[in-house]
Amino acid sequence: MFAVPGGGGAPGGRPRRAGRPRNTGRLGIVIKLRENLDRKQIFIIKATGPDRKVSKRQRAQIEGAGRRSVHDRRDDVVEEVRSRIDIVDVISEHVALRRTGRNYVGLCPFHDEDTPSFNVSPDRQMFYCFGCQKGGDVFTFVMEHRGLDFRQALELLAERAGVTLPDRALSPEQRRLQAQRKALLDVMERAARYFENLLLRAPSAEGARQYLHRRGLEAGTVRSFGLGWSEAEWDALGSALRSRGVAPDLLVEAGLVIRKEDGSTYDRFRGRLMFPIRDERGRVIAFGGRTLGDDQPKYLNSPETPLFHKSRVLYALDRARGRMRQRDRAIIVEGYMDAVTAHQSGFEEAVASLGTALSEDQARMLVRHAGRIYIAYDADAAGDRATMRGLEHFARLGRASSVFIVRLPQGHDPDSLIRERGAAAFQALLDRAQPLVDYVFDRALQAHDVLRPEGKAQVVRLVAPWWASLESAVARSDYMRRFAERLGVDEAALRAELARLVGRRRAVTDPVVSGRAAAGRGVAGPGGDGIRNKSREAVGRLRSRGGRSIHPGGVPAVPGHVRAERELVRALLHEPDLVRRVLARVEPGAFTDPRAREAVEVMARLAGASPMGAAAGGNGTPAGEVTAGETSPERKPWGRLVFDNLLTDEAASWVGGLIMAGPPPGDAVALVDDCVQRLERARIERRASELRQLILQRESAGEEVPGSLILEHDELQRKLRGIESERR
C-alpha cells in the first residue's frame, strides 16, 4: 500500500517533486563514482564503504528516501499536521514529563535511565535525549516510539490533527465519520454566527446587551469570545438554519434542537446568553447558555455529541494556551463569565472547567500546558466532595505539588471579585494561594478532633496519599516535620505510620510508579522485576536496531573525528553565517558519518553554494536567501529549514537532536575552524594510509612503485606535520 517505486516519484505525485534529481538515491551516485575513479573521489567511496555490499539497512534508507517523495517533511500537508499538533501532548501520553523552565523533561523511552535526560521543547516542537542522543520532531518520535515508517506516522498524526491526507484510502466507515464531523462543525459555526448576530442587532437582545454592559464586558471582549443570544422562541434557530439548507437530522445530532415524539423539533437554547465552546483549535463544538431570568437551569450546556465530550474540554483553552505556556501558570475557574472576565482583566491564562469536578482528561490537559495550576472556585464549591475528587487526579499524575488553591472571600467568584475589587485584588489572592497538600491537611485538621488519638490517625490516613504523591523528597520530609508538629506527634512515629499506609497503596496508586511503568520501565518492588525485564528487552532491541554501541552508562562511544563532525554540524545548524566558510574548505563528502554528510549536503543546497566552489569567507546569509523560495510563507529558523529538507529518518533524528541541544558552547568560529581542521587531518590520514597500503602491496608483489604514489604520500605527510605545528 505504501510502496512506491524508489526512483521517480509517485504516480500522480506532484510534478514539482517528481523531477528532483535527488530521488535517484545515493546508490546511483556511488555507482557513477565507481565508474569514474579519480584521486579526489576515492576516499568518498571509501567513506561509504567500497568493499561492502549495500546493506539491507542502507537499501531501506535509499528506498525510504524514494518513498518520502510522496510525503516528506517539506510537504504542505506535513506542515499542516505539524502545525496542529503539539509535541508535548503527543509525548506526554507515553512519557511522564515534568516542566523545567522552557522545556519538559522525563525518563527517556529509548534508553534505560534513572534520572531524566529526555528533553522536549514546546517552543521548538522537538525532543532530544542527552543520554542516548536521540532527537527529532513529532514525526520522529512517533516513528521511533511505535516502530512506524514516515508514512504511517503521518497517517496517525494526521488523523489526530483532523487533517485529510490527499491520497489516503479511507474505509467507508471512516469516510462517513469524517464527513459527519465536518458537517457538524459547519452547523455549529453557522449557529454561532446566527446567535452572535442576534446579540449585536436584534431588538429582543436588548436585555442581554444591557446585562453584559452591567457586568462590565467590553464590546471587544464580547466579539472576541463570540458571545450570542438565542431568541425566546421554540423554533428560531431551527427554522433559520433549515431555511439555509441544513438537514433537520444534523441539527438534532449537533444538539441544537430536540426532537419530539411526533417527529417535530424545538430549539434547545431559548432566551439565553450564548457562549460558544471551542476546541483547542478554536472551532465551535458546543454551546453554553446562561439564562438572564429565573429559568432553570441557570446554565444549560450542549449535550454530548460526536464533537463535544464535556470531560475533555476546557472553556477558553484555545485562547489561554499560549499565555499558559508563557506564564507557566493556569487559572481554573468554574463558569464562562469567570473566564471571560478574567481574560478581559489580563488573566489570559484562565480556563473554565464547566463544573467543579475536574475530569482526569482535564487535569492532564492542564499539567501539559502549565507548571503551576491555580484553582479559583468560589468558597462553597472549593471544599465540596466533587471538587476534591477532581483534584485527586493531580496527585495520581504526580503533580499535587503544582496545584494551588485560591481562597476567594465568601460569596464571591472570580467574576464578581474582579468586577467589584479589581484585577489587583484577584492577583493578590493568587499570590497568597495555598499549596494543595497544605489545603488538604488544613481541611483534615478541621474535620477531625486531633486531640484524640483516633482523630490523629484519621488525619494521617487522609493526608498519606497526598503526601506520598509529592515528587520531591525534600518536600516530603518538610511536610512530614510540619504534620508531626501540627498533630503533636513524634516525627519518627509519623514516618513509620505514613510508610505503612503508603507502602500498602504504593503498588497500585503511586503515580510515580505507575507513570514509570507506563513509560516502559520498572521499579524495584512487587511486580517490578517483570516490568524492568521488559524494558531491558526493549532497550536491547533499540540497541541492536540502532547498530551503535552504547556504553552501560548510556553514552555512545564516538571516535574523535566523528565527534568533530557532530560538533561542526551542530554549530552550522545554529550559525548559518558559517556555512559558506566551512563549505569553502570541506566538501560534504568529506564527512564520514552519513547523517552529517546528508545534513551538510542539504545546507550546501539551501545556502545556494556549490560545495568547494563558493567564494571563501563568511559573507552572505544563507538563511535569508533561501526562505523566499520555499513553500512555507513564514520565515523558518535555519536549523528547522535544514531539518525539514532531510530525506532519511536517521539524519532527521540526528539533526533534530542537534537542534534541540542548542548551539555548542564557546566561540563558534574557533570551534568550526578546529573541527574543519580535524576533518582535514582525518581525511589526509585516511588517504595516506591508503597510499601506504598500495605502496606496500606493490613492493611485496615485486612490482615497481609509481613515483606519483610516493610523492603524494610524502606531500600528505608534510601537510599533516604542518597541521600539527599549527595546532601547537
Q: What residues make contact with Zn ion under the rule CB under 5 A?
A: 108, 110-111, 129, 131-132
Q: Whose Cβ is closer to Zn ion: residue 111's or residue 456's?
A: 111
CB of 555 to Zn ion, least distance (A): 10
Sequence letter at residue 417: L
Q: Whose Cβ is closer to Zn ion: residue 143's or residue 273's?
A: 143
CB of 108 to Zn ion, least distance (A): 3
Q: Whose Cβ is closer to Zn ion: residue 553's or residue 617's?
A: 553
Q: Whose Cβ is closer to Zn ion: residue 158's or residue 517's?
A: 517
Grid cell for residue 318 = 484555545
Q: Whose Cβ is closer to Zn ion: residue 120's or residue 450's?
A: 120
CB of 595 to Zn ion, least distance (A): 17
CB of 107 to Zn ion, least distance (A): 9
Sequence letter at residue 184: L
* Among candidate residues 381, 378, 383, the one with its CA nearest the CA of residue 416: 378
Q: Whose Cβ is closer to Zn ion: residue 129's or residue 354's?
A: 129
Please give the distance of CA 656 from its chain centroid, rounded to a whole number. Answer: 13
CB of 642 to Zn ion, least distance (A): 23
* Among candidate residues 615, 572, 614, the one with its CA nearest the CA of residue 596: 572
Dihedral of alpha carbons 224, 160, 152, 601, sign: positive
Question: From CA 58, how far away is CA 322, in angstroms rounded?
Answer: 42
Question: From CA 697, how far away is CA 713, in angstroms rounded?
Answer: 15
CB of 325 to Zn ion, least distance (A): 24
At residue 365's C-alpha, the angle toward residues 361 and 369, to 5°, is 170
CB of 112 to Zn ion, least distance (A): 9
Q: Whose Cβ is closer to Zn ion: residue 289's or residue 657's?
A: 657
Q: Whose Cβ is closer to Zn ion: residue 132's or residue 599's?
A: 132
Give 393's contacts (C-beta < 8 A, 6+ positions apart): 358, 359, 360, 362, 363, 364
For residues 469 and 398, the answer to whether their CB atoms sit within 8 Å is yes
Grid cell for residue 239 = 427554522
Give 214's contacts (C-beta < 8 A, 6+ positions apart): none
Please give the distance of CA 403 from its chain centroid, rounded to a whole number. Answer: 22
First-last CA distance in the chain:
59
Q: Whose Cβ is closer to Zn ion: residue 113's or residue 338's?
A: 113
CB of 111 to Zn ion, least distance (A): 4
C-alpha distances out from residue 3 to 34, 51, 320, 549, 634, Å: 29, 29, 43, 32, 33
CB of 128 to Zn ion, least distance (A): 9
Q: Whose Cβ is closer to Zn ion: residue 547's or residue 707's?
A: 547
Element (H, E) at 115: none
Question: From CA 340, how far away is CA 168, in angstroms rounded?
Answer: 41
Dihedral of alpha carbons 239, 244, 250, 253, sign: negative
Q: How many Cβ atoms are within 10 Å of 396's Cβ, its own excluded?
A: 17
Q: Whose Cβ is closer to Zn ion: residue 518's or residue 696's?
A: 518
Q: Any idea of the CA torsion for 596, 597, 601, 602, to the nearest 10 degrees?
A: -30
CB of 576 to Zn ion, least distance (A): 28
CB of 86 to Zn ion, least distance (A): 21
